[in-house]
Amino acid sequence: MAGTREGGKKAAQKNKQRDPDFYAKIGAIGGRNGHGGGFAVNRELAREAGRKGGLNRRGWRKNKEAKDE
């Protein structure tokens, strides 16, 4: 694994030399592993997480009444 930006570029170049479709193949593997869960499917879960994040801000004193619900 590359430790610097230049090393990363060299590693990417080497991967492309060995297999021109290297990055397309590993990207396809990641795409096949996805299951489309989380906020993309469950809007209520997203709403609840946003509410909790909004209450857990620096200005929590303003939201204290809402937090007590």
Residue 62 confidence (pLDDT)? 62
5 shares a domain with 24: yes
Is the domain of 24 the same as that of 46? no
- CB contact set of 45 (below 8 Å; sequence gap of 6+): 38, 39
Q: How far is CA 29 from the centre of its chain?
A: 16
Q: Are residues 50 and 66 in the same domain?
A: yes
pTM above 0.75, yes or no: no
* Residue, of 61 and 46, whose pLDDT is higher: 46
Domain identity same for 2 and 30: yes
Separation of alpha carbons 30 and 47, rounded Å: 27
pLDDT value, residue 17: 96
Per residue in 32-53, pLDDT tens? Answer: 887 777 788 889 999 999 888 8
Q: Write down the pLDDT at residue 63.
A: 57
Residues 29 and 44 in one domain: no
CA distance 63 to 47: 17
- Indicate the number of domains in the chain: 2
For 3-25, the pLDDT digits (tens) are: 899 999 999 999 999 999 999 99
Residues 20, 46: one domain? no
Residue written as tokens 């939201």? 63
Domain that holds residue 14: 1-34
